[in-house]
Amino acid sequence: MSTLVEDNPAKNRFEILVDDALAGFTAYLPRGEVLVFTHTEVDPKFQNMGVGSALIRATLDQLRERGTRVVPRCPFVAAFIDRHPEYADMVTAQP
């Protein structure tokens, strides 16, 4: 299974492709140097396969490289960061 996570700024979301099929996305609202994550969705046929976690991990890794901070309003993103405290330093207060 090959996966690719990429930013789709036209739709304000990061998307995960599994074997070239859109498997899920995490939506954000841009607020300057901060992204407010509002919703994460994984296609039902890709659920319980770790796709959501792979999406959030790759998204946060890309944002860390850019120096972007996040507001995890989406419960899935917030829970992921709680389980992976190495990303906690990227969280900022609501802009």
Q: Is the pLDDT of residue 20 over 90?
A: yes
The pTM of this model reads 0.95
pLDDT exceeding 90 applies to what percent of the chain? 93
Burial (0-12, 13-18, 19+ Cβ within 10 Å), 83: exposed
**Segments making up each domain of the chain, as ranges:** 3-90
Q: What is the mean pLDDT of residues 25-50?
A: 96
CATH topology for 3-90? Aminopeptidase (3.40.630)
Q: Which pLDDT does position 95 carry in this prediction?
A: 60
Q: What is the mean pLDDT of residues 50-63?
A: 98
CA gap 11, 7 in Å, rounded: 9
The confidence band for 5, taking pLDDT boundaries of 50, 70 and 90, is very high
The answer to whether 54 and 16 have CB atoms below 8 angstroms apart is yes
φ/ψ region of 19 (left if φ > 0, alpha if ψ in -120 to 50, else beta) reads left
Q: Is the pLDDT of residue 91 over 80?
A: yes
Q: What is the mean pLDDT of residues 16-37?
A: 96
